Structures are given as C-alpha cells and as structure tokens.
Chain A
C-alpha cells in the first residue's frame, strides 16, 4: 500500500520537529546554556517518524535513553520532554526521572530505559496483558543493535513468538554500541537474521527511508494486531553525534561518518517530496520554521518552570511511602 501525500507530509513534519529539538538541545548543551545530559538521536528520525505515523494512539511504545525522536513521534509534548531533561516539575516524570526515564502512558509511551535490553521483556508483558484482555493494541519496542546481544532480548523474543504476542521489535541499528562497531560483537551480519531462531519474521529495511520503514512497519503491525505474532524489524541507520552529546567520535572512521551524513534521511526525504510534487519548497520551509518556533517556545517554557519541590521527594515512588521500607 502506497503512503498518501498527507501521510508523507506528516512524516516530514515529525522528522523536522525531531531534528529541530535535537539541534536546539545540542546548541544549548554545547554553549553551557543547558546543563542536561543527552544521547542524541540525530540521523535516526525516519524510523521514529514511521512509528509515529503508523502506531495508533492506543498502541504502546517503549524506548531507550536515545529516545528523543521516538517520544516526539508518539506525541509526548515537547514541554514534558525538555522539562524532564532539565529537571522541571512540568516534565513527563515531574522532573524526577531525567533524560533516561521519560514515560507518558497517556501517549502510550510506557517506558524509557537506560538499561540496555530492558525494553523487550517489558513489552512482552504489556503485550501479554493486552492479549489476555482481548484488546487489539500493539506494543512496539525500540532498541539498539547492541541490545540484541543481551540475554533479555533473546528471552523476550522467544516468549513473544511462542505466545504469538502483539509485539513489534524495532531495532534501530546505528552500527555502534557505545564505541564498539557491530562487527566486533556479532557473528551474524544482519540483526534481522536473529528472528529465525525464534520462529518469527525478521525484516531489514533502510532505516533512513521513512517510506520503506512505514511499508514494513505496517505489515508487522497488521500481523501483530490480527493475532499473527511478533516481527523483528531491523532499521539500518547511523547516529551522527556519537553515543552521548560531546562524544569526540574518534573511533568512527572519517569516511564512514561522511558516507552516513551523505545518506542523512532529512535532505533525502525533502528532495523526494519536492521531486515527486508532494510538497513545494515553500511548504517545506514553512514546516521547518514552524518546528523551530515550537521548539523555542517549549524550551523557554521549560526553562521558566520550577524544579520539583522537596515535598515531592517520596511521591510516585511507593504507594505508601511511610510504611514501605526505603
């Protein structure tokens, strides 16, 4: 099924918003204006935009510390993301979780985690709950290439397949785990091939092409929703700013980085949209200006907001903080 022009425009809007947020955070951290930590998603926007377009509001998404793009795609308000990163009460976790711990169940974002490989088992639990309740929601879980080397990934994949759970395992293969390239940690060349061991489809797509991701994701979602079970969707991409913000990236060969930047999903999709007549240059300029303005407004509001009060130290930790052992 081809993606209609309205959806293509929506994909670009999401990708541009993700990039604008990343650019602004990067500028602010680099100059000392913002003192938060950040694991940049610049370069991986096409995957998150496809998830944002294809997931229903009641579908669930789990992500990692490198989750800015995923959170924006699933509709977490920018104010709640920036607020959380900056430790403000307006943050999604009331400013007490930080960059790595953003959840917003109202948007279907159930977990962000800093523990590599921790997302898939939680996704399996959520999908099992949905199945037992007879809901037709799907749980998508996003994680890196490195996460597929953890035991928890393999256990989760096995159970998801065994029980035909409505899960989509979305691997954002950016070719590095911290400073280690995938060929130093995996005998197989394709993460997607790992699906064979569990009896589920494994699909590899160009993760820099939002339309390719959408096409494969739709099939995986349809399969999951209709009781067909999970899919492992490997999206091949790259992270342009290294592991953490400020990473000097000395371990990335210059030619590899240059080639990856030449395949930047944003300019590529922009030329596709103008070349095929889906949008004019002017319309795309407007989308970009609107995204930057939204980012500035949200950041200003987050910076102006108060940090959580000390009275909240124990709230949202235990149901009964007085009688629960600390």
Chain B
C-alpha cells in the first residue's frame, strides 16, 4: 500500500495560496483517480480538483482555511 499525498495544486501561475472551500468525499471513503475530490478558491475563482490516485481518502485539511500552494491536506491510501 502506498500513500499519495493530496496537495493544494498550483491552478494558476501567479498564486501563492488557496482557500479550501469544500471536501467532496467523506473521510475514509473510496475514490477512483479523476473523481472530484475537493474545491479550492484562488482570486475569487473556484476550481474543482480531481483525485490524483485511486484509494481510500483521509483528510487533514479543514474547509474554510487558507493554505500555501503545495500544502498537504490529506492522503489517498492506495491498495
């Protein structure tokens, strides 16, 4: 089993941070690569972020918080 870190992506060239607006899957649930995983907001634009791997999701980030690009907000445990 390997762990795939879920990070705040760089969705635009000139942004340093993003707000975690929503988690789209529940703690501990199973996702497939590409499934909608969470929503972030940068410069008043919301972006839906897909899962980078398939597996079971565990969250460490909190909705409403603002994070630097690259901050780990969870992990996907691959089977």
Contact = CB atoms under 8 A, between A and B. Distances in A.
Interface of A: 27-33, 35-37, 244-248
Interface residues of B, number: 18
Contacts of B8: 32
A35 B12 contact: no
Contacts of B45: 248
A27 B11 CA distance: 11
What secondary structure prevails in chain B residues at the interface with A? loop
Interface string B1-18: 000111111111100000
Contacts of B23: none
B10 A31 contact: no
Given A27-B52, A30-B49, A248-B45, A35 B13 contact: no
Nearest to A248: B45
A32 to B, nearest CB: 3
A32 B49 contact: yes
A313 B63 CA distance: 39
Nearest to A30: B9
Contact of B10 (A246, A247, A248): A246
Interface in B1-46: 4-13, 45
Contacts of A37: 10, 13
Given A31-B50, A248-B45, 14 more contacts: A27-B52, A28-B52, A29-B10, A30-B9, A30-B50, A31-B51, A32-B9, A32-B10, A32-B70, A244-B13, A245-B13, A246-B11, A246-B12, A247-B12
B70 A35 contact: yes
A28 B11 CA distance: 11
A27 B5 CA distance: 14
